[in-house]
Amino acid sequence: MESAVTEIFYRLSTAFFWPVALALLALFVLSLADLGSLLVQSRRRANAPASDLPALANALAASLRNGTRPHLGAASLSPSLARFWDMLEARLARLDSHEHLDLWLDETLQREEMRVANRLDLTRTLVRIAPMLGLAGTIIPLGPALQSLLAGDMAGMVNHLVIGFGAVVCGLVLGGIAYVLTLTRERWARVDLKEMENLCELVLRALPEAAHVRGAAQFAGAHA
């Protein structure tokens, strides 16, 4: 009975070797590609213009005082903020009123936060999974290595141990790369989301003021 159970566990553990090995290799290649993408993105962010919050406020207020659609003109925007403003501007153009503008802006900002969180979840998952795969890839070859040792096949035992040590190194490096990717993108996300919050606050402050100015002008014209 004991030998049958041992044989079952041995067969199960060896059956998982190739899925674990292939997953480690595939994720390692993907993490290297993602690291290269991060380096390119880092260089682009370093060369991209920074957002000028006072200029944004002035440009937004000026366009609203003139009674035109909210427009930032030539104000400096970071790439992420420019993309967010394009989405915000398109949705503002479809609004019939600004009665629930605060709720609408909050919902738009939450959508962006969820998009960023979904992107970060990929590398966060790798940080946890990589050591598990590395440990599994290390322990699984120990069974065949012990079998080779019992059979007196030292070369076979060494080959299995080399595979196990390679798997744990691959898993640790994969986890380290994923950790660096996660930390860097979390820092970028905090900066980008803070800029988006500031822009939403500017829009929230400016639009009611513009509506009040237009209402006062219409009232004055009606009683002139």
Which letter does DSSP use for residue 96 in this model?
S
**What's the mean pLDDT in 185-195?**
90
For residue 174, what pLDDT is reported? 93
- For the chain, the farthest-separated pair of C-alpha atoms sits apart, in whole angstroms, at 107
Per the CB < 8 A criterion, the answer to whether 163 and 142 are in contact is: no
The CA–CA distances, whole Å, from 152 to 64, 140, 146 equal: 85, 19, 10
> pLDDT tens, 105-140?
788 888 888 988 888 888 899 999 999 999 888 888
Is it the case that residue 173 has pLDDT exceeding 90? Answer: yes
Instruction: Give percent of the chain with pLDDT exceeding 90.
Output: 20
The more confident residue out of 65 and 14 is 14
Check: CB of residue 73 under 8 Å from CB of residue 219: no
DSSP letter assigned to residue 66: T
What does the alpha-carbon distance between residue 134 and residue 129 come to, in Å, rounded to a whole number? 9
**pLDDT digits over 17-41, tens only?**
888 889 999 999 999 999 999 999 8
Per-residue pLDDT at 221 exceeds 60: no
> What pLDDT is recorded for position 184?
93
Q: Are 28 and 170 in contact (CB under 8 A)?
A: yes
Q: Is 93 helix (H, G, I), strand (E, B) or coil?
A: coil
Position 164 scores a pLDDT of: 87
d(CA 208, CA 203): 9
pLDDT score recorded for residue 207: 65
Q: 180 or 81: which carries more pLDDT confidence?
A: 180
Instruction: Please tell me the predicted confidence (pLDDT) of residue 185.
Output: 92
Per-residue pLDDT band for 220 (boundaries 50, 70, 90) equals very low
Q: What is the mean pLDDT of the chain?
A: 78
For the record, the structure tokens of 94 come out as 């479809």
Predicted pLDDT of residue 102:
72
What is the per-residue pLDDT for 214?
40
